[in-house]
Amino acid sequence: MASCALITAVICVLITAVATIVAFATPNWLKFRGQNPTELCGNSRYLDSCNNCDCGLWLRCQGDITISGNLDNCRWFFANDFEIEQALPAWFKAVQGLMAVAVASSLLALLIGLFSLCCYCKSCNPHQAAGAFINLTFLLLTTAVCVFGAKAHTEAYAGVMAEPNSINPLFDWSFWVGVGAAGMSLISSILYFCVGRRDEIY
């Protein structure tokens, strides 16, 4: 029978995977409240400007999509022969890649964790494999949110809270979900380390 620590670890991995997918897919990493003079969200002289818009890793939307739920005012970065994607800075593309691999590694950790609940293997330790993948997820997520946070702050003066008489962009809820996913993946990694060590002892 699975231990309480193992079940807790699998639940934490599940929360990590869901949070990573939500952060990866939603267009709310940055909220622009005025002019966008940077290359963030593919803003350039060849494209329509992303003013007063929500910016994610894969699309940008005019207006608040969380209220309307309407994608008619959104533009995918891969549309029109990667028009917006090509205008993005290199570090933004790196964050896209890191988050994509983080989604894959979190799902692998979840599958291995679920397998370890129902199948017992004498010659292998699936907890170590799940722990390795969730640890990789932690490293990927931490790197992605740190790079995005640092570059968005230095290049677009993005902030955490709105300041008086300022229209600088704000880090939006998808970014903070990514931060939470990184924290949850660290907790999951520690739990799997403890479960794996206990199995080695016994």
pLDDT digits (tens, 9 = 90+) for 144-167: 999 999 998 888 778 787 777 667
- Residue 47, domain member (yes or no): no
Domain count of the fold of the chain: 1
Question: Quick one: tokens of 34?
Answer: 């005025």
For 88, phi and psi rounded to 5 degrees? -75, 150
Dihedral sign from CA coordinates of 64, 69, 74, 78: positive
Distance, in Å, from the CA atom of 115 to the CA atom of 80, rounded to the nearest integer, reads: 42
Query: What range defines the domain where residue 123 resides?
Result: 4-30+89-200
CATH number of the domain encompassing residue 95:
1.20.140.150
| Residue type present at position 96 | Q
- pTM over 0.95? The answer is no
CA atoms within 13 A on the CB side of 46: 9
Question: Quick one: tokens of 25?
Answer: 């897919």
pLDDT digits (tens, 9 = 90+) for 35-67: 655 556 665 444 455 666 788 888 888 766 555
For 75, phi and psi rounded to 5 degrees? -125, 125
Instruction: Identify the residue with better confidence: 101 or 114.
Output: 101
- Residue 61, domain member (yes or no): no
